[in-house]
Structure 1
Amino acid sequence: MHEEKVTLVRGQIAALAQAVSSRDIRQVWVTSCGGSLATLDPIRYILTQETAKAVSHAVNAAEFSCDPPKALGADCLVILNSQSGTTAETVRAAKLARQRGALTAAFTTVPGSPVEQAVDFPIYYYDDPVHPYPLLLSIFPEVYQTAFALLDALDGTRRLPVMEAAMERLEGVCLRETAVFSAQAREFAASHRTEPVIYTVSAGLDRCVAYILTNCSFMESVWRHSSPLHAGELFHGACEAIGAETPVVAFLGLGPCRPVEERAVKFLQRITRKLTVLDAASLDLSELPEEVRELAAPLVLHAIASDFCLKLSQRLGHPMSSRRYMGVMSY
């Protein structure tokens, strides 16, 4: 059954790539809301760093609809993401993009949903806590494969098979490395159970997973104040709010922005005694193809960071699914 779903998704990604190959795409926009936008950001990052054929942007879907780019048109690809397929801002953005003549695609878990009906190409991912599914069919691996399929379509290369191989092996790597950090995650939960605020610091591709840890985990799921601080921007104002008792989770990736993150970590080590560093250099990524380890590292850090927050929620007796407003009240 999972094999059929993998085949379906790869066919959907291939169909989008074929459509891109047949058009003169010059701009790629990723637009959604919250964590759904953050999970699309690797497309923007990878295309920006790996191809000169198209310029890539990321913007919140409400802003995209209210203040659309003047250049939005037939030479644009707009990619969206709505888990439920009903996020009103995202559906509006999809309809606007299609009206302007852009090629459109959307990730969703719900076939036949409003967002699927509003775009040219749907790509399904899976999020079902009752019926377990392989990590390969979750949003991040599908986004990474889509990014490499787009690189191939734009540049005439054949890089997708390497990323597909990496994403097939990702689940085992994440499970192993999360287990390695399990004791540290329990210590984090015990020491941070009464902290009213926890900052995150990152740069480069790590920013998407740091944002998810802040917005979707600490703030949305366990109702703790948090802010995703850019490691480079830390020294231009935000550092003044950091004291000896300020909790911070800092990310260290393997990419070109690691020196930016390292500078922040070195500063934070001098200032706060409540610093948690998640360092990709300490991970065993040997099962992943070497040429994509740098890009895949944030996904392993994401799995580890998610477990840190899960253990915090368990320590608090506060289920990660608890909500006061989202899906509860109209706004």
Structure 2
Amino acid sequence: MSLPDRFHPAVSAALAAIDVTALRHVFFVACGGSLSIMHPAKFMLDQHGTLPSDVFNAAEFVARAPKRLGPGTLVVLCSMTGTTRETTAAARFAREKGAATIGLTVEPGSPLGNAADHAVKFEAPYTTGVPIDARDSNYSIIYQIVMGLVARSGGEDLTEPLIASLCNLQGVIDRAQESFAPLWDRYAEHFARQDVIYTMASGASYGAAYSFAICVLMEMQWINSQAIHSNEFFHGPFEVLDETRCFVLMKGVDSTRALDERAEEFLHRFGKAENILVLDAQSLDMTGIDARFRGNVAPLIFFDTLWRFIYKVAEFRQQVMLDGRRYMKKLSDY
């Protein structure tokens, strides 16, 4: 079967070159922010396909060396710049074991692009400062890979409604920015004074909570953080909650929403409203997004809109984003 014309041509070419019907396992492999998109990718594959999959940090993937890795397996990797050493090493390791590899990067000629069997370019405004259409983001590309795999492996073919939804996604994000703007004004100055902010989500959105915690709050603003799964919250982490603790809760609209609702109720029961920033995907105008994919696009909306929030926080903290980092992109000997 052929994929829709609006699919990324490199995705279509990669999936055409791989014997998808012979695949028995998929590995999603990356580090940091790139690892965060692997969680919703696995969530989508779990809900729509029958192929088993795992998400791995790139260095641990090589160190653990799963026995099932080899012919008949696909490794999907991502590194924004394509220069992440661990991810490049993971691509080489996977190929040595006989696995097929797809590398997502903004630079197809990068080390990762050269190490993978198939390089797929995506766009990222966070490194260039140039706005993009969300259909060209890493989330969009990996979702195309996942639903292409599902369709080509004999599952339901939802590639047309997926790509139609992704082509409408930027408008949804723009409307979400307007919808969330009052929250940014209400919470930015208060959150800027904090030295600890926890993030929380579940399902497809957990990756967005993970990324915001480690790559934005900790990396960009030196604010201590931890991404907490909305149900794991009740198995230890809720003991830190009091009227002084700050949380960002991302309420998705996928099948795990009830987990987020339970967490929200507890946060407001024992916390203080001014410390609890709730982003609710159900409140957004998702016109143009197929109902079957609204839960999947929610984390991209959260991730994109929270960048607007963190820049307001950074202004109050007088902490420069990106260029203010102490170690990231400043050292090479670690």
TM-score, with normalisation over the residues of structure 2?
Answer: 0.93
Could you list the per-position Cα deviations for residues 201-244 of structure 1 after superposition, in whole angstroms to 9, with x for gaps in the alignment? 11111101111111111111111000001111111111111111
**Is it true that 1:241 corresponds to 2:233 in the alignment?**
no
Structure 2 partner of 1:107: 104
Structure 1 partner of 2:33: 35
Query: Quick check: 109-118 or 225-234, which moved more?
Result: 109-118
- Structure 2 distance, partners of 1:153, 1:29, is 17
- Structure 2 distance, partners of 1:21, 1:43, is 20
Letter in 1 for 2:48: E
- Structure 1 distance, partners of 2:258, 2:56, is 26
Q: Are residues 8 and 328 of structure 1, via their aligned partners in 2, closer, same or farther at CA, if it must alter by over 3 Å?
A: farther
Q: How is 1:139-154 mapped onto 2 (pairs within 5 angstroms)?
A: 139-154=138-153
- Structure 2 distance, partners of 1:82, 1:259, is 32
Alpha-carbon distance, 1:71 to partner: 0.9
Query: Quick check: 120-129 or 214-223, which moved more?
Result: 120-129
Letter in 1 for 2:95: R
Structure 1 partner of 2:286: 285
Alpha-carbon distance, 1:288 to partner: 1.5
Alpha-carbon distance, 1:156 to partner: 5.0
Query: Quick check: 298-307 or 138-147, which moved more?
Result: 298-307
Task: Judge conservation of contact 1:61–1:89 (CA < 8 Å) in 2.
Answer: yes
Report the number of matched residues: 325
TM-score, with normalisation over the residues of structure 1?
Answer: 0.93
Task: Judge conservation of contact 1:41–1:58 (CA < 8 Å) in 2.
Answer: yes
Structure 2 partner of 1:3: none
Structure 2 partner of 1:219: 218
Structure 1 partner of 2:22: 24
**Is it true that 1:308 corresponds to 2:309 in the alignment?**
yes
Q: Which runs of 5+ in 2 are unaligned?
A: none
After superposing on structure 2, the runs of 4+ consecutive aligned residues of structure 1 that deviate more than 6 Å are none
Q: How is 1:1-331 mapped onto 2 (pairs within 5 angstroms)?
A: 10-52=8-50, 54-127=51-124, 129=128, 131-273=130-272, 274-321=275-322, 322-329=324-331, 330-331=333-334
Alpha-carbon distance, 1:291 to partner: 2.5
Alpha-carbon distance, 1:280 to partner: 1.1
Alpha-carbon distance, 1:89 to partner: 0.4
- Structure 1 distance, partners of 2:141, 2:102, is 13
Letter in 2 for 1:327: K
Give the SS at the match of 1:49: helix
- Structure 2 distance, partners of 1:62, 1:284, is 39
Q: Which runs of 5+ in 1 are unaligned?
A: 1-6
State the identity %: 32
- Structure 1 distance, partners of 2:6, 2:256, is 35
